[in-house]
A and B are shown apart, each in its own frame.
Chain A
Amino acid sequence: MTDSPDLEKLEAEFAAAIADAVDMDTLEAVRVAALGKKGRVSDLMKGLGAMSPEERKEMGPKLNGLKDRLTEALAARKDMLHEAALEARLASERIDVTLPVRAAPIETGRIHPLSQVWDEVTAIFADMGFAVEQGPDIETDHYNFGALNFPEGHPAREMHDTFYFEPDASGARKLLRTHTSPVQVRTMEAGKPPFRFICPGRTYRCDSDQTHTPQFHQIEGLVIDEVTHLGHLKWTLEEFLRAFFEVDGVELRMRPSFFPFTEPSMEVDVRCARLGNEIRIGEGDDWLEILGCGMVHPNVLRASGIDPEKYQGFAFGMGLDRIAMLKYGIPDLRAFFESDLRWLRHYGFAALDVPTLAGGLSS
């Protein structure tokens, strides 16, 4: 039996060592020295077994208390050192947050205004129940003219400056379609009324100046059933233009005109204001010619195998490039086809700027 060890002194000694530990390794050494297998407190606890019950009753709680207090102090010190180390690390980790990042591909890519406007037009007409039909650029005389009530040699053909290919062995020559109307004929031939569709596409005329390019784009619409009349045409155009130009008030003026494939035929002007180079649709005192239309000519229906006594309807056509220019204030048609990156970046649209009726046609 030895003298009762001076537990208070021992505790003070270890408490000081814990408080002095400046890193995890030192702290661990203190723990081992006190509470490790051969630690001094562990040794004392091992000695309990050899004590008398009275001594044990006295020393047991003392030693257990000492062990608990040291364990707690060690943990507290450990937390503190950990926290200090993290602080020190964070203090050393600094970046210049103003450094520029690379432009993301999604940011630099562009959709051509024509594609964008085409998607807008599709969204509107799809909602009005128009399907989308397409046809070839290289056409026969029959589909581009004959079936559309342009008789051979008729001066109306001269309104279309047509690109021709060389005649084949039989003397027939193909041509580049001068309008998207051949698609009407092809679609009507292949199906049965009623019809409600639009046909967009690339068209060609042998013409080149400030406002004409040898290729351009048209969008044409056709409705054929037993009752559709001019009033429906007017409504359809008003609703389309209102939605497309994203304005509330659209006023149309229909003027009689002539197209071989419609009867009656008309050109449509829209009320606008001209402010310098800008044209505002739906306000002002000016009129802007925007499209041609009419009731489909009985000869065209007949040529497509449809009985004109039973069926009737309207057709309209407009320049996709032109309405793109009007809506987005693009001054020069020729630039559409010049692929100048500066122009495309300026007038083009972001990849995910997809026009929808729910989200709005343009952002």
Chain B
Amino acid sequence: MKFTLSWLKRQLDTEASLDAIVDRLTMLGLEVEAVEDPAKKLAVFSVAKVLEAGPHPDADKLQVLKVEALVEGQVKQLQVVCGAPNARAGMTGIFAPPGATIPVNGMVLKPTKIRGVESNGMMCSERELELSEDHEGIIDLEGDWKVGTPAAEVLGQNDPVIEIAITPNRPDCLGVHGVARDLAAAGLGRLRDGAVAPVAGSFESPVRIELDFPADDEHVCPVFAGRLIRGVKNGPSPEWLQKLLKSVGLRPINALVDVTNFISLDRARPLHVYDAAKLTGNIRARLGRKGEKLLALDGKTYDVEPHYCVIADDAKVLGFGGVMGGEESGSTEATVDVFVESAYFDPYRTARTGRDTGIVSDARYRFERGVDPAFVVPGLELATQMILELCGGEPSNIVVAGKVPDTSKEISFDTARIEKLTGLKLGKAEAANILSALGFGVTDAGGNLSVSVPSWRPDVEGPADLVEEVVRVHGLNEVKSVALPRLHAVAKPVLSPRQRRDRLARRVLAARGMVEAVNWSFIAEAEAALFGGGNVIPALKLANPISAEMSHMRPSLLAGLIAAAGRNMARGMPDIAMFEVGQQFESDEPSGQVLAASGIRRGTARPLGSGRHWQGKAGPVEAMDAKEDAVALLAALGAPIQSFQIAADAPSWYHPGRSGVIRLGPKNVIGYFGELHPRILDAMDVAGPVVAFEIFPDTIPEPKRKATRAKPPLALSDLQPLRRDFAFVVAESVTADQLMRAARGAEKKLITDVSLFDVFEGGSLGEGRKSLAIEVTLQPVEKTLTDEDIEAVSKAIVAAVEKATGGTLRS
């Protein structure tokens, strides 16, 4: 919402300075976004007189002027080379001294030579000062202006433009009068009387108005008023009106249209004028019909939909109610009889028609936020007054269809609520004064105030709204800080186990040398499809994505990480260890949002370091690096690592032979790890190998809360543990896990640990066989083990392993 200071002063009688007004607007909730003072950019420009004008010795189209002008506070005579055809001795114009910045192009003037003739400064055209597009010649001032008079004064460019942001709850401030009311209530002046005197009609309007809605859609346009004014003389509106409209960025059209635009901005009351000669029969507001079309004022043709509110005559659709009128029935300079419309259109219906047509207009902006329904007829009277004044003519009686909807509201207001909600101690009288100044009706019958809400404030519904009104006018900054009571002397922990895991996961992975990324929640369909998502889950496809690259909710964090790896590789960083902890999506239900902690390693970014080093270079990443990350993370998150089952059936995006699934029990998948499938990398155009892991922290069972923080007693044996090594030759298909489990199970009392320290394949073992070497730790419990005891355990281990794996002890 834009207006100028002088416009504001048409509605507000005030001596307040621009700064005071601007500050108060913001503190009233009418946030000032910009103040543009056109005088500022014209500060160094002033009136100059051309004393002499003679030909340029070297150029036919140039003249050499002798100019009397103000330069650095002194009137001087200067030589100026000028190309304007209208430059002549005796004229006055606007002079730009050397050093001035020309508004239209930002050029800084310097004394110069043009075709060998010295030139100091410039006589300006209107375009150069951004006053108009006129560049035919230099400004030729009418009247007797003293040399050195500031250009802003001469050109009427001394009216600052104020732009404020109006929140959707304040449709009343979409007119200057409403803004003035707020300022007056805040003590910044006196609101000028906005009452409009009726204009008597001298004949019955030959055009009648009808409302034609189905019973349950009558609210779409409950009231429609109009009148015919005949014998008007349309044409350009007067200078003052054109200037006001131009100053806020509106293009003057003709007097009739300018009047409607002015009242829209001044009183937040949109109107429409029809050329009565172009109407067929009567005007009615009704719902649209399939097959109808409208050529709107924006020059575009729109298909009418049955839910639109349209204005139509007996022959055609004239406009979309509250949104935009039609081109064919609009006023022109030739218009003689004009029909003026002032109606109330339902905000939601207007918004919907506006959205569906895509039309953005000042009328829509106001109607969809809610115009003052009580100002339908006064608005029409005001328009009549102005039209008669500017264009003459003879008005008919007003015709009104329907009736003004009753929006009256009475609120019983306990002013103690102000202190209860804000802590501000404010008397009943002050509250009543503020509300009255804002146009509320206030009755104090003892006890609660009885407050009636003005018709222009659809936002005020209850006591909380009245508290806001009072406090915002009184000054929100008067609210004093009050300490929030502490709930506990020492703060209690607040994070849930899930939240603790989330933050711990980040720290653990970063401690492993990985860099945390935060990638987009939405990715391209093709990428989502690579990780089990995409169009197979239609519920996760955005209807209005910002781009095709961001159309589907991610089914896995890996897509974003791999893409990020590709971008970093392209910037010359081939070794990448990166992770993200975040949400991925299986469905659009809350339960389908899964927390994942996933990471990738690419190039030589191995857990202990990357790249070349004098102690030995890091090789390419391997699947086991990702397993190490996964297991380290799970250990830190408190997962029961000993109980994991690990199998080689990872999802399709992993290398089928070099990846695994970590489970707890047959169904509970804790995570995946392994090398990524080469086809996935090809599809994403990232050179491998890339290894990855995905861990789902919420699948880890929460440890049981114990009654005490005490740890179980530590049982230490005085007897030394002893260790024995065994190497078995087994078939290649036998897993390390099978072998180690068999060894561990051979003697449950004495064996406390089994670790695998060597894997050897091929060579003398022959094709399809491998050797696995383990170290078994025996912890004697009651007495030192004898050679016989040890021999017995060893035999049991060998027997158990051979039975479980079909292998043999390597001799």
Contacts and interface: CB of A to CB of B under 8 A. Distances in A.
Interface residues of A, number: 94
Contacts of B486: 128-129
Contact of A351 (B488, B507, B520, B576): B507
A90 interface: no
A79 B585 CA distance: 75
Contacts of A146: none
B539 to A, nearest CB: 6
Nearest to B545: A163
Interface string A115-144: 100110010011111111011111000000
B488 A111 contact: no
Interface string B488-526: 100111111001000100111111111111111110000
A104 B610 CA distance: 10
Interface in A69-113: 99-100, 102-112
A157 B442 CA distance: 32
Interface string B745-775: 0000000000000000000000000000000
Sort A-B residue pairs by CB-CB distance and give the 4 closest, nearest first: A105-B513, A256-B29, A231-B423, A258-B167
Interface stretch (B242-250, B256-264, B269-277, B473-481): B473-481
A125 B499 CA distance: 15
A26 interface: no
Contact of B560 (A103, A155, A223, A339): A339
18 contacts: A111-B516, A126-B494, A132-B499, A134-B499, A138-B592, A138-B593, A159-B168, A207-B546, A215-B522, A231-B422, A232-B483, A255-B26, A257-B29, A263-B468, A298-B464, A337-B520, A344-B515, A351-B507
B723 interface: no
Nearest to B465: A263
Contacts of B568: 339-341
A302 B614 CA distance: 69
B172 interface: no
Interface in B547-576: 550, 553, 560-561, 564, 567-568, 571, 573, 576
A265 to B, nearest CB: 7
Nearest to B420: A229
B507 to A, nearest CB: 5
B541 interface: yes
B50 interface: no
Interface stretch (A4-12, A32-40, A42-50, A164-172): A164-172
B507 A229 contact: no
A341 B494 contact: no
Contact of B578 (A104, A253, A339): A339
A230 B479 contact: yes
Nearest to A223: B484
Contacts of A207: 546
A87 B311 CA distance: 109
B422 A230 contact: yes
A154 interface: yes
Given A153-B348, A228-B484, A312 B421 contact: yes
B604 to A, nearest CB: 12
Given A214-B546, A258-B170, A337-B518, A115 B511 contact: no
A67 interface: no
Contacts of A255: 26-27, 29, 31, 476
Contact of B519 (A110, A238, A339): A339
A129 B488 contact: yes
A316 interface: no
A244 interface: no
B480 A131 contact: no
Given A255-B27, A351-B507, A163 B167 contact: no
A196 interface: yes
A274 interface: no
Given A103-B609, A254-B476, A257-B31, A235 B481 contact: yes
B614 A164 contact: no
Contacts of B480: 231, 234
A354 interface: yes
Nearest to B503: A119
A345 interface: yes
Contacts of A122: 494-495
A162 to B, nearest CB: 8
Contacts of B544: 163-164, 206
A132 B496 contact: yes
Q: Which of A119, A125, A236, A351 has the most CB of B within 10 A?
A: A351
A122 B500 CA distance: 11
Given A153-B352, A235-B482, A173 B510 contact: no
B165 to A, nearest CB: 9
Among B352, B481, B495, B541, the most chain A Cβ lie within 10 Å of the Cβ of B481
Contact of B513 (A109, A127, A128, A338): A109
B368 A155 contact: yes
B783 interface: no
Contacts, number: 268
Interface string B400-422: 00000000000000000001111
A266 interface: yes
Contact of A264 (B422, B496, B503): B422
B481 A231 contact: yes
A210 interface: no
Given A135-B590, A339-B567, A341-B515, A312 B167 contact: no
A21 B52 CA distance: 122
A152 B346 CA distance: 13
Interface string A334-349: 0011111110110010
Interface in B394-444: 419-424
B607 A105 contact: yes
Nearest to B616: A102
Nearest to A131: B494
A77 B682 CA distance: 74
A340 B421 contact: no
A105 B484 contact: no
B462 interface: yes
B369 interface: yes
A211 B298 CA distance: 31
A118 B589 CA distance: 26
Contacts of A340: 567-568, 571
Given A208-B546, A257-B167, A258-B169, 8 more contacts: A108-B515, A118-B503, A138-B589, A164-B544, A214-B550, A232-B483, A295-B421, A339-B561
Contacts of A322: none
In this complex, the member of A108, A174, A208 whose beta carbon has the largest number of chain B beta carbons within 10 angstroms is A108
Contacts of A196: 487
A135 B499 CA distance: 12
Nearest to B614: A99
A53 B472 CA distance: 126
A256 B468 contact: yes
Contacts of A109: 509-515, 577
B107 interface: no
A105 B512 contact: yes
Interface in B26-81: 26-29, 31
A155 B510 contact: no
